[in-house]
Amino acid sequence: LFRLCGQSDLAEDLSQEAFVRVIRSLDRFDERFRFSTWLFTIGKRLLVNHQQKMKPTPDSEVVEYRAGDTRTPAAEVEEAERTGRVTQLVQVALDALVSPQREIVLLFHQQGWSVQQISEELRMPEGTVKSHLFRARRRMLEAIELSGTPNPHEVFR
């Protein structure tokens, strides 16, 4: 969980909650499957739920002018607005993904995992991971284009 979210406190809290849920639901565990996979799935779902609750809302309010900053307040406002647009478009793109595509994209691009690491963790062939990445990127671009952004490639420069 720490590798997925990068926050030790959050990972600890979610791990504890995952174990509590496992203990409460132990009678529903199917012994044909690995216990570790079941536990990881519960923890991962808790993380996804937490991330959805804590979605940041882009804020493009005027940024305070800092003394000694070489940029003008107008340039800072423009940069803040651009950052807000990028954040919003990335969120639109991620919202268009389904699992496991979303998880693979986050592990690859946000956490910096290799295709091989993802393949081992998710227990799927490397070719399948690559295929999910390709399809996810295509779906993300389509979602951004459908969002009405005139030229998404200009926003990400």
pLDDT in tens, the chain (157 residues): 887 777 889 989 999 999 999 999 888 888 888 888 888 889 988 988 888 887 765 554 444 444 455 656 677 777 777 777 777 888 888 888 887 888 898 888 888 889 998 998 889 999 999 999 999 989 988 888 887 776 666 655 5
Residues contacting residue 73 through CB under 8 Å, at least 6 positions apart: 62, 63, 65
Query: So what's the pLDDT on residue 65?
Result: 46
As given in the structure block, the two tokens for residue 21 are 């849920």
Q: Output Rg (C-alpha) for the chain, integer angstroms.
A: 19
Q: For residues 117-134, b (16+ Cβ closer than 10 Å) or e, as one string?
A: ebbebbeeeeeebeebbe
> What pTM did the predictor assign?
0.49
Q: What is the torsional sign of CA 13, 14, 15, 20?
A: positive
DSSP H helices in the chain: 2-5, 8-24, 35-53, 73-95, 101-105, 115-122, 126-146, 152-155
**Token match 């565990």: residue?**
29
Residue 119, amino acid: S
| Cβ–Cβ under 8 Å, residues 63 and 94 | no
| Cβ–Cβ under 8 Å, residues 107 and 118 | yes
Compute the distance between CA of residue 22 and CA of residue 28 in angstroms, rounded to an integer: 9
